[in-house]
């Protein structure tokens, strides 16, 4: 049995390399929007923000856990970013809660409340990361320790050098 080693990734062959590529593409596309369109990503806490920063996010990263009631946070997000992305009418922000049980509850509650205020949101990044990285992690903050492996894939889909 011969093995094709031309496209070998630092993650080795097979499933992990493909899953990290998929996650990297989603992160790269989100990072480009975050930087170029000042498109905010809403995460649970400071460690999640640090993880995205480690992956090269330089645009707005908003933190849910800041001691505010949800109503105040949602009002702040609405006032700061509006109900739609100004450039193309797309989602005003991306919501990226952990993909564990607590994160799922938060995601659902935020979606429900923001849609109630007619704020268009994106959950695409979370959906992709949930599927692609579930074997390795269920929390956003772990992306920081995975930045070395994910970084080249993220950079491939967002070609700005850092």
Q: What is the dihedral of CA 149, 94, 46, 133, to 10 degrees?
A: -30
Give the tens place of pLDDT for each residue, 52-77. Answer: 999 999 999 999 999 999 999 999 99
User: According to the model, what pLDDT value does residue 8 have?
Assistant: 40
Quote the CA–CA distance of 51 and 63 in Å, as a whole number. Answer: 12
Residue with tokens 């062959």: 13
Q: What angle do CA 71, 59, 114 make, to 5 degrees?
A: 25
Domain ranges of the chain: 15-147
Average pLDDT over residues 27-56: 96
Longest dimension (CA), the chain: 61
CATH of domain 15-147: 3.40.1360.10
């Amino acid at each position: 049995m011969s093995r094709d080693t031309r496209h070998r990734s630092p993650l080795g062959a097979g499933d992990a390399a493909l899953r990290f590529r998929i996650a990297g593409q989603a992160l790269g596309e989100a990072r480009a929007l975050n930087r170029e369109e000042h498109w905010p990503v809403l995460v649970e806490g400071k460690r999640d923000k640090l993880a995205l920063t480690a992956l090269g996010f330089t645009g707005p990263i908003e933190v849910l856990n800041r001691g505010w009631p949800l109503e105040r946070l949602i009002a702040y997000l609405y006032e700061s970013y509006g109900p739609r992305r100004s450039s193309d009418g797309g989602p005003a922000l991306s919501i990226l809660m952990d993909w564990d049980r607590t994160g799922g509850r938060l995601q659902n509650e935020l979606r429900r409340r923001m849609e109630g205020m007619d704020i268009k949101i994106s959950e695409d990044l979370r959906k992709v990361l949930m599927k692609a990285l579930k074997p390795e992690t269920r929390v956003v903050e772990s992306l920081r320790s995975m930045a070395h492996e994910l970084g080249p894939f993220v950079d491939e889909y967002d070609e700005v050098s850092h």
